[in-house]
């Protein structure tokens, strides 16, 4: 029988190795789809399930049980690798430097393998370290929902919790901004000796859990097999990649074809209806209305697939304008709403205090109001007032979450400060090593400082809507540098791309 996991063991070599293995698969998939569509997915729930399945298969050979906290480690490592194609600019900025920069713009710029590695090291630590000081504000104090994180926590709890899902009260609390705790209901940590409970009572529940995860893994493998066979067929039958569903004339003239890739079907399932329906509407408006209109009016007289003179390049400017305006408005709302909310709260509090002092509130009170007598204080002459209650509640709100974890499990302020400073310097240094004098030092420093500010809005948007506006944040950074860097500068476009990449990495 495997020995129980030692108390507090949350970082293990086997967990990191499993996370790297799962993350490699997801990173490869994101690189493939990111280069085609610009979209990547962190896939936190699939990575949690795959990590759990790996250790379930290896269960007879484990020295100590696979715990929920270790499952979080696997998911975190896999998620960090999954987002690398976007965070390091491999699906956007790097291809643009190589294919879109002209000779008069210091291009084309092809980075070597070691330059890409150095560039990635400088970007990957920057955003991770800066996320640590934001945790207490957005998770502990403001209690933002982070729907994907909550769903992943519930999944891990179900996988490790003897098949029992969260109660309705827990789900409702989390929906209102609470936490998806991985702790048991009796406040004991999950890193406990599983042999201490009644074995006879756990056998049916353990069997149910084994059936659940086995069924999910079987479904995952079947989907993997079907998609793989279909992809191989597409490789040997290229016609399947561009089906002329609207006729051969529309396919050759307007590029109206269908690529029935099951991988896109899976990506659409992950992205959800809200995003995919908007993308479908954009495809209809852009390629079904604007593209023929630009061709007919002579705004884009060249072939449709020509980026220079065709409608394919023309509608890109329309889409960029739409996304830029949406990013400005959305991020401005996220940034300014807390300020207006604080001012509104203070104004309401001031008005209430003034009404109480002026006895205006007493006019609307009933004459038979009663106040409960505190237990053990019947001789108290003056009952507790509403202001005292409000002060108590406010005090509790201010102190909530300060001790949400033991001191040994929290990252100290000193480590965060030095770590953030070191990551900023590392980002600046690696950028200078890779691009040299092509990107001035002041531009790199400005991009880093701006990325810190924009990332706060990105985290808040992610916590409230479950969508991280990475693309919008990078476009805001690029717009800012387009205003401060003169067009006569020979590296203006390259500086713009680097600034956008740094903003994406931090967000």
What integer is the mean pLDDT of 405-425? Answer: 81
| Banded model confidence at residue 403, pLDDT cuts 50, 70, 90 | low
d(CA 126, CA 153): 25
Between 87 and 464, the more confident residue is 87
How high is the pLDDT of residue 20? 95
| Banded model confidence at residue 501, pLDDT cuts 50, 70, 90 | confident
Between 193 and 277, the more confident residue is 277
- Of 148-152, 343-347, 425-429, which one has max mean pLDDT? 425-429
d(CA 66, CA 71): 7
Residue 139 structure tokens: 């998770």
**27: in domain:** yes
Q: What whole-number percentage of the chain has pLDDT above 70? A: 72
| Banded model confidence at residue 173, pLDDT cuts 50, 70, 90 | very low
Residue 194 structure tokens: 């599983």
d(CA 180, CA 150): 5
**460: in domain:** no
d(CA 460, CA 431): 27
How high is the pLDDT of residue 163? 47
How high is the pLDDT of residue 19? 94
**57: in domain:** yes
Neighbouring-strand partners of residue 78: none
Q: Which helix (H) or strand (E) holds 254?
A: helix 248-254
d(CA 108, CA 100): 7
**351: in domain:** no
How high is the pLDDT of residue 26? 92
Q: What whole-number percentage of the chain has pLDDT above 90? A: 8
d(CA 4, CA 2): 6
Number of domains in the chain: 1
* Residue pLDDT, tens place only, 341-371: 666 666 666 666 666 665 554 544 544 444 4
Domain extent, residue 21, equals: 9-83
Between 286 and 321, the more confident residue is 286
Between 233 and 167, the more confident residue is 233
What integer is the mean pLDDT of 455-459? Answer: 77
- Of 21-30, 91-100, 296-305, which one has max mean pLDDT? 21-30
* Residue pLDDT, tens place only, 154-167: 888 888 874 444 44
**42: in domain:** yes
How high is the pLDDT of residue 23? 93
CB atoms within 10 A of CB 340: 10
How high is the pLDDT of residue 183? 45
**32: in domain:** yes
**54: in domain:** yes
The answer, yes or no, to whether residue 104 has pLDDT greater than 80, is no
Which residue pairs, CB below 8 angstroms and at least 24 apart, start in 172-179? 174/145, 174/150, 175/145, 177/142, 177/143, 177/144, 177/145, 178/143, 179/139, 179/143
Q: In this structure, what are the phi and psi dihedrals at residue 170, rounded to the nearest 5 degrees?
A: -65, -45
* Residue pLDDT, tens place only, 478-497: 888 888 888 777 888 888 88
Mean pLDDT of the chain, nearest integer: 75
How high is the pLDDT of residue 24? 94
pTM, two decimals, is 0.69
What is the Cβ-side half-sphere exposure of residue 431, based on CA atoms within 13 angstroms? 31
Strand, coil or helix: 258? strand
**125: in domain:** no
| Banded model confidence at residue 77, pLDDT cuts 50, 70, 90 | very high
């Amino acid at each position: 029988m495997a020995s129980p996991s030692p108390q507090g063991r949350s970082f293990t070599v086997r967990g990191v190795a499993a996370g790297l293995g799962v993350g490699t698969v997801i990173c490869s998939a994101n690189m493939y789809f990111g280069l085609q569509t610009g979209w990547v997915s962190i896939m936190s729930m699939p990575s949690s399930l795959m990590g759990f399945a790996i250790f379930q298969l290896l269960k007879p050979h484990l020295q100590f049980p696979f715990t929920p906290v270790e499952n979080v480690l696997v998911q975190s490592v896999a998620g960090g690798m999954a987002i690398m194609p976007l965070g390091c600019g491999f699906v956007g900025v790097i291809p643009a430097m190589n294919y879109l920069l002209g000779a008069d713009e210091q291009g084309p710029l092809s980075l070597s393998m070691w330059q890409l590695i150095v560039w990635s090291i400088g970007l990957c630590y920057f955003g991770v370290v800066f996320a640590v000081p934001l945790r207490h504000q957005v998770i502990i104090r403001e209690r933002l929902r982070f729907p994907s994180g909550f769903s992943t926590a519930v999944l891990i709890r179900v996988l490790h919790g003897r098949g029992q899902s969260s109660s309705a009260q827990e789900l409702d609390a989390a929906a209102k901004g609470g936490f998806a705790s991985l702790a048991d209901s009796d406040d004991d940590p999950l890193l406990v000796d599983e042999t201490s409970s009644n074995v006879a009572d756990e056998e049916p529940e353990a069997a149910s859990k084994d059936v659940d995860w086995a069924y999910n893994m079987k479904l995952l493998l079947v989907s993997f097999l079907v998609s793989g066979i279909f992809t191989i067929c597409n490789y040997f039958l290229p016609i399947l990649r561009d089906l002329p569903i609207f006729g051969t004339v529309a396919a050759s003239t307007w590029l109206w074809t269908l690529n029935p890739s099951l991988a896109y079907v899976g990506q659409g399932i992950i992205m959800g209806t809200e995003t995919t329906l908007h993308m479908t509407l954009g495809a209809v408006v852009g390629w079904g209305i604007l593209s023929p209109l630009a061709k007919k009016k002579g705004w884009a007289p060249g072939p449709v697939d020509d980026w220079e003179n065709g409608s394919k390049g023309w509608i890109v400017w329309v889409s960029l304008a739409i996304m830029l305006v949406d990013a400005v408005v959305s991020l401005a709302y996220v940034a300014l709403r807390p300020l207006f909310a604080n001012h509104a709260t203070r104004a309401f509090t001031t008005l209430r205090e003034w009404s109480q002092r002026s006895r205006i509130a007493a006019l609307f009170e009933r004459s038979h109001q009663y106040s409960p007598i505190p237990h053990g204080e019947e001789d108290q002459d003056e009952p507790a007032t509403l202001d005292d209650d409000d002060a108590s509640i406010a005090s509790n709100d201010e102190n909530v979450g300060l001790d949400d974890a033991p001191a040994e499990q929290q990252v100290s302020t000193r480590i965060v400060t030095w770590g953030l400073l070191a990551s900023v310097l590392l980002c600046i240094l690696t950028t200078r090593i890779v691009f040299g004098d092509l990107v001035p030092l002041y531009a790199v420093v400005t991009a880093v400082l701006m990325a810190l500010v924009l990332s706060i809005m990105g985290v808040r948007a992610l916590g409230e809507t479950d969508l991280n506006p990475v693309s919008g944040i990078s476009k805001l950074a690029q717009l800012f540098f387009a205003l401060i860097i003169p067009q006569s500068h020979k590296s203006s476009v390259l500086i713009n791309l680097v600034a956008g990449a740094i903003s994406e990495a931090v967000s």
